[in-house]
């Protein structure tokens, strides 16, 4: 986002940041700034948000699946196996 703002000649004033999409949506809905979220997160929040689709091939995100090292349930093992098969191992 910093590079996108800089290339547009914009210099946002950041007072605070959050990483939880639900919290970002709530803050934006209360008028405390804007949030860059997946469209599904914005729709899930319900009313109070105006959504503008941003499409730029230079912008991308990363999603990580994490779990504790302790033994996990059979369902968690199945999810991990499916994610590894579908998405591949991290590079």
Note the pLDDT tens digit of each residue in 45-90. 766 777 777 776 666 666 667 777 777 888 888 888 888 888 776 5
Q: Is the pTM of the predicted complex or chain greater than 0.85? A: no
Task: Report the C-alpha gap between 84 and 63 in whole angstroms.
Answer: 13
Q: CA separation (Å) from 1 to 31, 41, 83? A: 20, 18, 27
Structure tokens at 47: 């009313």
Domain that holds residue 35: 2-87
Structural domain total, the chain: 1
- 69-87: b (≥16 Cβ within 10 Å) or e: eeeeeeeeeeeeeeeeeee
Task: Report the C-alpha gap between 76 and 71 in whole angstroms.
Answer: 10
In the predicted structure, residue 12 carries a pLDDT above the cut 80: yes
Q: Identify the pLDDT of residue 82.
A: 85
């Amino acid at each position: 986002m910093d590079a996108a703002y800089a290339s547009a000649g914009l210099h946002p004033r950041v007072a605070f940041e959050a990483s939880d999409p639900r919290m970002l949506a709530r803050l934006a809905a209360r008028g405390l700034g804007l949030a860059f979220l997946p469209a599904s997160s914005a729709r899930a929040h319900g009313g109070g948000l105006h959504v503008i689709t941003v499409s730029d091939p230079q912008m991308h995100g990363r999603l990580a699946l994490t779990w504790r090292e302790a033994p996990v349930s059979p369902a968690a093992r199945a999810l991990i196996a499916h994610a590894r098969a579908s998405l591949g191992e991290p590079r």
